[in-house]
Structure formats: C-alpha cells, structure tokens
C-alpha cells in the first residue's frame, strides 16, 4: 500500500514538472511548444505560430505573420516592424484604466483606455484597427485621454481635430486639452479662454470668466 502511494506521488510530481516545461508563461500569453499552440489568458490564439511567437508585453504579441492584441489579430499591421515603444508602454496601466484623473477616460461614455487605442508600425498609425490616414509615423506621439499628435495634426480617438496646433497642444486631464488659442473637451472645441484656462478636479475647470463642468459652461 505504501509503495502504491509513493508511486502515485512520484507520477503526480512528474506530471506537474512536465506541464511546467510544456507551457511557458510570457506575461499574459503562454506558449505550448510541444502542442504548437499559443494561449492568451487560457484561451487558444487561433492561427498563431508557436515557433515564432513573441510576447511583447501589455497584452501584445506577434509571430511571423500577425500582430495580436489581447489574443486577437490586428489586421494590416506588419509584424516585422511592430514594436511596443517606450511611449506606448508608458501610457498603459495593467487594469486597463488611464493613469490619473480619478479613473475617468476619454469619450462621452467615459470608457477607459490603455494606450488610448493607438498603435503603430514603421509605416502606419492605427486607432482600434483602423488606419489613421495621413498620420506621420516618425513624429506620432500618444498623449492622454484619447489624444495624440504628430508634427502636423492633433487627434482624439483617431479623429483629426481641425485647426488644433500640435506645437502648443497639451493635455490637462479629465478630457480637457488646449493649445495656444483654443480649449477642447473630448476632442471638441469649447468656448473658453486658453490663456487662463485651468482644470481643477472631478471634471471641473475654469478660465478668467467662467466655470466649466465636463466641457459645459455652468457659471458666468
């Protein structure tokens, strides 16, 4: 009886050890080299090539054919040039919330973003799988609350903000931003004075003449 228990114990240890060798964890991805399969959070990543798969961190990975985000293929993204850059990684928080600003993200429904939904390769800039036409890859910079800019334009949620000035554009938190001449909330220009505009907290802001809440003027 004792010998049988010892044999069962040894077999169990061998099974655990072999399983650890078969599936190596890389962040949120696991790669089963023997079965030639890739998993993201326990779900099989269909079509992924385990022999060339790399975990890039922050929910991203790639193989010789595709780039993946949270286990899903990002269409039209070149894996040979795709990288998770320092600016890209710094705009990510592990729970999917934008850092700071009390948990508010961008968008009228206050959905929370990680890298703002933006990503790029050597040739293109994308927002949630859609290429941003005309974006300048080399100078493209991810900001906060869904905002981004390059040398020529400013964007919110992948949409160009008409007449916004990238050289002086800055994010202020809680969905607010401004350049030298205008103030914006969630990508829309609001009637406020840029020179004196300041954001307080919880969606409130003010300039020299008025107070604003979530982009709306509430007091003269």
pLDDT for res 11: 44
pTM: 0.58
> Nearest Cα to 197, choosing from 189, 205, 207, 187?
207
pLDDT for res 6: 53
pLDDT for res 156: 95
pLDDT for res 8: 47
Residues of the chain with pLDDT under 50: 7-26, 90-114
Longest CA–CA span in the chain (Å) reads 87
pLDDT for res 111: 31
CA quadruple 24, 29, 32, 36: dihedral positive or negative?
negative
Give the integer Cα–Cα distance in Å for 116 and 56: 17
Give the integer Cα–Cα distance in Å for 162 and 174: 21
**How long a stretch of residues is the chain?**
220
Partners of 155 in the beta sheet?
148, 160
Extents of the domains making up the chain:
23-84, 85-220
Task: Give the HSE-up count for residue 113: Cα atoms under 13 Å, Cβ half-sphere.
Answer: 27
Give the integer Cα–Cα distance in Å for 212 and 193: 11
pLDDT for res 7: 46
């Amino acid at each position: 009886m004792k010998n049988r228990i010892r044999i069962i114990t040894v077999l169990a240890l061998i099974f655990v050890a072999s399983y650890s060798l078969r599936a190596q964890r890389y962040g949120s991805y696991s790669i089963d080299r023997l079965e030639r399969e890739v998993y993201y959070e326990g779900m099989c990543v269909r079509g992924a090539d385990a022999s060339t798969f790399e975990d890039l961190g922050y929910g991203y990975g790639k193989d010789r054919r595709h780039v993946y985000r949270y286990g899903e293929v990002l269409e039209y993204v070149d894996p040979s040039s795709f990288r998770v850059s320092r600016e890209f990684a710094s705009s990510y928080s592990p729970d999917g919330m934008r850092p700071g600003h009390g948990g508010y993200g961008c968008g009228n429904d206050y959905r929370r973003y990680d890298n703002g939904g933006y990503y790029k390769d050597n040739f293109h800039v994308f927002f949630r799988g859609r290429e941003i036409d005309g974006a300048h890859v080399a100078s493209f910079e991810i900001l906060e609350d869904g905002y981004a800019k390059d040398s020529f334009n400013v964007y919110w949620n992948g949409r160009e903000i008409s007449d916004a000035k990238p050289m002086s554009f800055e994010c202020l938190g809680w969905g607010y931003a401004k350049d030298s001449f205008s103030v914006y909330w969630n990508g829309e220009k609001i009637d406020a004075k840029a020179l004196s505009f300041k954001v307080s907290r919880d969606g409130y802001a003010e300039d020299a003449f008025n107070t604003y809440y979530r982009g709306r003027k509430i007091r003269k």
